[in-house]
A and B are shown apart, each in its own frame.
Chain A
């Protein structure tokens, strides 16, 4: 079945550092790919998504590009802030199937 693998962390960075969280997937079809963010004590919120190969999703300074050739959807941000501290989930959804979530990556940004 479909699956998502991501670095589990925790990832600890200093403010203004560059962030990369790796995500790779396996899927039988041509899924849409998502990054969700979970702030402490809250539910998941959609951060960005991409629906086809070579699409780039972006939001709040975060970016991820749908790479079909490497089956990856890595999350990047050029300069993280303390307020970016959260758990980040990579996810995919194949047509007619349910969402599949990765295990989540906890990010801590220190001032």
Chain B
């Protein structure tokens, strides 16, 4: 039982390149989330998926797209990376209805 897994752990991109961050959970949770963590700003919600087949924008969605591929997997795509997207990205899963969120180990992204 791995919980929430994320790949890759670390990535360096050049401005304008694209990439997809992968997230998978084996807890059979309904809801999944993508956050970014920047110094002094805590976690900010990028996108979330309350259930399979649905996605919604969070606080900072610009420059990102997501896909809820199935109940287990929720990917985050940067179509044209910018230096402002340098951050640590966390995926989380939640059963739903106010329960605990479980976090992955994070992906550290550096955009040059």
Contact = CB atoms under 8 A, between A and B. Distances in A.
Interface of A: 8, 32, 34, 36, 41-46, 49, 51, 89, 93, 95, 98-99, 101-104
Given A32-B98, A34-B100, A89 B48 contact: no
B10 to A, nearest CB: 11
Nearest to B45: A98
Contact of A42 (B92, B97, B105): B105
Given A101-B43, A103-B42, A104-B42, A43 B103 contact: yes
Interface of B: 4, 33, 40-43, 45, 48, 58, 90, 92, 97-98, 100-106
Contacts, number: 44
Contacts of A44: 43, 90, 92, 101, 103
Given A8-B40, A43-B103, 20 more contacts: A34-B100, A41-B105, A43-B90, A43-B104, A43-B106, A44-B90, A44-B92, A44-B101, A44-B103, A46-B101, A49-B100, A89-B42, A93-B98, A98-B48, A99-B101, A101-B42, A103-B40, A103-B41, A103-B42, A104-B42
